[in-house]
Copies of this chain bind each other. A is one copy, B any other.
């Protein structure tokens, strides 16, 4: 009989809690102890902005489990307000501090799982520790914000950072009646996606009364004469606020691992193998603190998301119990909702590909309805698909819209997980009834556009070459052209094109566009068969407006 397992888990949220429950299912005899420095285990940190916004009404809703349930159901000892302050790897013990009594004690393990999570980034700015400045990482953080809003009758908030948490906090603070300004150093909100896609969200935020200050870094915070706060920026702006939310991002909490001499990766997270083992095989690490392998870009990265954390916890537990479990890495699927608009992505963004110096990629844009247009209530989905021309493999996708955004990205995420190509999307057989899609689903359309390009049946123009020599041809109707068009464009509506090819030159590139890309494709097919050099501008005028607004043209 093998040695009885005595597993200590450091950190009781997401990865740690999943590991604990899975361990028990794999080994009824193991002694399992979970230490959590905070007051709560297994809480829904993704729900915190909505708890601040009172969309989630009561704190108990956020508590997915508690120490009693862990004890009764899983025979797992949970110690909250207990911080593991040191690991003696040679002795296989941890030093634990009871934060209530201040007393310390040692505890021995056969296997240790570190799930310390990530810390909110707090840049060393003047005034960063002033009262009224909050991060949103824990239930006490949220309670403090709720309390502050009530106690100070807060009317104005500045949210620093335009990522997931920043946007969710902006919506929820406005829901509480505050006037909200988002200050973001980058020129876009939602840094994980490309700027022209983020532009839809920026417009939506503005339409809903959120003020955006993009491309400006915060210089510091100070108390203003009225007793409130003043957020000053590097660009010389000053934003008064009764409440400031720091949502700049997170960094892996590696202090304990580092002090224990465990190897860290180049991105600053704990280094682990596919079994979630650190450089010490008796010590596992999971969740936001570890580096994960990006299956698309083939490089190690940080990704603070609950889904991967939970699966990593399972892998660690299974491996401890002797199963050859492996974590397959991440592709970075994520979604964020703001004012009923969803933005989601999976795989690599164009920015990330460029940073990784990948050049073997092609981008397409399309604007399908979420269901057939003839059924009432169709909502457009803005879709960007990135694929590899050398083999058609899908590299990434981004979508924005009010309906079925998660559905489209989930399908593409599954295709990518299975090394799918644009040809797979073209042939996908998906749910269709008038209220639930289209006979040609948005996924099929994306695949068809991309696969047509692959087969040289649909040459795509690069938007970046919009001002290169050649003819710019608009094939929409005159009424559409009059309402707005790209400067320098020549108008020949698609229905007249066969009769008017004499107006076009054979010795120049013709870049064609329509409203969303479809008529442009028809025109390009026709003209190329007639001997012209034609390329279609993917996504048409709709995409042009977003690219222009995002400063990419």
Contact = CB atoms under 8 A, between A and B. Distances in A.
**Count of this chain's copies in the oligomeric assembly:** 2
Contact of A457 (B25, B29, B305, B431): B25
Given A25-B457, A309-B439, A457-B26, A413 B434 contact: no
Interface in A276-322: 305-311, 314
How big is the A interface, by class?
35 or more
A429 to B, nearest CB: 4
A341 to B, nearest CB: 11
Interface in A502-553: 521-522, 525-526, 529-530
B330 A47 contact: no
Interface in A331-385: 331-337, 342, 344, 346, 372, 374-376
A64 B333 CA distance: 35
Contacts of A56: 374-376, 434
B409 A411 contact: no
Contacts of A75: 498
Interface string A25-48: 111110000000000000010110
A118 interface: no
Contacts of A413: 411, 428-431
A437 B331 CA distance: 17
Contacts of A336: 433
Given A73-B495, A311-B427, A413-B430, A437 B406 contact: yes
Contact of A440 (B164, B307, B376, B430): B307
B434 A47 contact: yes
Interface stretch (A206-214, A236-244, A414-422): A414-422
B529 A44 contact: no
Interface string A441-465: 1011000100000010100000000
Interface in A464-519: 494-495, 498
Contacts of A526: 24-25, 28
Contact of A308 (B55, B64, B406, B429): B429
B27 A529 contact: yes
A406 to B, nearest CB: 4
A428 B409 CA distance: 12
Contacts of A419: 418
A372 B24 CA distance: 24
B529 A28 contact: yes
Given A375-B50, A406-B407, A420-B418, A430 B333 contact: yes
A51 to B, nearest CB: 9
Given A55-B375, A414-B411, A414-B428, A307 B441 contact: yes
B44 A372 contact: yes
Contacts of A342: 436
A526 B27 CA distance: 8
Contacts of A522: 25, 73-74
A431 B418 contact: no
13 contacts: A25-B521, A44-B374, A47-B434, A50-B434, A61-B374, A306-B439, A307-B430, A307-B444, A314-B448, A333-B431, A335-B437, A406-B407, A411-B411
Given A47-B372, A47-B434, A410-B410, 11 more contacts: A24-B525, A24-B526, A25-B525, A307-B429, A334-B433, A335-B432, A346-B431, A406-B407, A413-B429, A417-B424, A417-B428
Interface of A: 14, 24-29, 44, 46-47, 50, 55-56, 61-62, 64, 72-75, 164, 168, 305-311, 314, 323, 328, 330-337, 342, 344, 346, 372, 374-376, 404-407, 409-411, 413-415, 417-420, 424, 427-437, 439-441, 443-444, 448, 455, 457, 494-495, 498, 521-522, 525-526, 529-530
